[in-house]
Amino acid sequence: MVELQSVGFESELSLFKYDTLEQLPESHRDLDEAARSRRIAAAREELGDRVIVLGHNYQRREIVEHADFIGDSYELSKRAAESDAEYVVFAGVTFMAESADIITDDDQTVILPSMEASCPMAGMAEAVQVDSAWEMLVEESGGKDIIPVTYMNSYADLKAFCASHGGLICTSSNAADAFEWAFERGDAVLFLPDKHLGRNTADDLGIDGVVEWDPWAGDVAESMGAAGEVDPEIPDLGDAEVILWDGYCQVHERFRVDHVEEAQADGAKVVAHPECRPSVVAAADEVGSTSHICDVIENADPGETWAIGTEVHLARHLARWHPEVDVRPLCGDACMDCNAMRQVDPNYLTWVLEELAAGREPNVVEVAPEEKELAAVALDRMLEL
């Protein structure tokens, strides 16, 4: 464990946080879909209302069809907190299971089916790394009062770090409100880990003083304009109103303006997630969270064509759920799934449910008490927006 110098609590890299999580045993590696479905149904009948299964929008069909609720990460955590289930099986990634543990009761246990389901973007801003950069950021900004704002897609210790420095959490839906909250309390915002969501939010608010911080070089990176061009004159950190941590979602960064233009030329409207590049967001017809994307398709007129600029499984779900609408992935056959979500193989779901039914608790995700308390502070600040 490493003590964070600027906040005084211990943490470590996410890779080492949950070293007790187990791999899928050999006995469950070759199940076919019919066998899985039977065994999942049997385990769920045995468990009854002691378990709730949460399926993120980006999970494959074989997962979400067994979920009690489908949605985005924070929406699902709220569903868990509202339930009386003893076990919360979160078919998502590590930071999501942590978020559920933060807001559920102490007598609820959160299970992550796969030990390998770790979001790459969350891992681009480890609390240990941000803590080591904090003093440098403050010094190079000329002693500005910097308020850290972390996206929900981050680990619990980074949420706790932000709370300790007067900051808060945001979702893709309320990022602008979080920025305004921060500016009422400080001179500048440090936004992490997703630079694209941060840039798009700053653009929406008309903020020009935006720089990117390269955590690997320890200095201001080349600043990317709204159209994706590199600004040859890199602003000084002292002039910055918004400092973007150089992280991104590998799924959403794949989308290009060409994809948008080709879809629109083919008669489709485009709805893009705000984790996409600013140039893609500027060209899209609609922009919003996964919940907003679902609402757009639900409210579309029959016969409309929509191209979905987010993880490919959500596009496939929406096409199944709304056959009256022509729903397509934005980049067509070139679209790929989220590698982290892919780690939650349906066989993992079968295994953890059968283990719970047998009285064993595999792959428990439990946030350390001090981190949990502080992360809850950051979350409470968001809820007050």
152 annotated as ligand-binding: yes
In whole angstroms, give the CA distance from residue 125 to residue 122.
6
153 annotated as ligand-binding: yes
In whole angstroms, give the CA distance from residue 336 to residue 344.
16
Give which of 303, 255, 304 is closest to 283, Cα–Cα. 255
Q: Which two tokens stand for residue 216?
A: 């690997």
Q: Which two tokens stand for residue 312?
A: 């490919």
Residue 355 CA to chain centroid, in angstroms?
Answer: 28
On whether the CB atoms of residues 253 and 277 are closer than 8 A, the answer is: yes
Strand order across the beta sheet in which 210-214 lies: 168-170, 146-151, 188-192, 242-245, 210-214, 219-221
73 annotated as ligand-binding: yes
In whole angstroms, give the CA distance from residue 147 to residue 188.
6
**In sequence order, what E strands does 176-304 have?**
188-192, 210-214, 219-221, 242-245, 269-272, 286-287
In whole angstroms, give the CA distance from residue 14 to residue 77.
20
Q: Are strands 146-151 and 168-170 parallel, antiparallel or unpaired?
A: parallel
On whether the CB atoms of residues 64 and 86 are closer than 8 A, the answer is: no
Dihedral over Cα of 151, 155, 161, 166: its sign: positive
249 annotated as ligand-binding: yes
56 annotated as ligand-binding: yes
Question: φ and ψ at 211, to 5 degrees?
Answer: -130, 160
Contacts of 86 (CB under 8 A, 6+ apart): 50, 51, 107, 108, 109
Question: φ and ψ at 119, to 5 degrees?
Answer: -65, 120
173 annotated as ligand-binding: no
338 annotated as ligand-binding: yes
**In sequence order, what E strands does 152-241 have?**
168-170, 188-192, 210-214, 219-221
Binding residues: 56, 73, 119, 151-153, 172, 249, 273-275, 290, 338
Binding residues for [4Fe-4S] cluster: 119, 249, 338
Binding residues for iminosuccinate: 56, 73, 151-153, 172, 273-275, 290
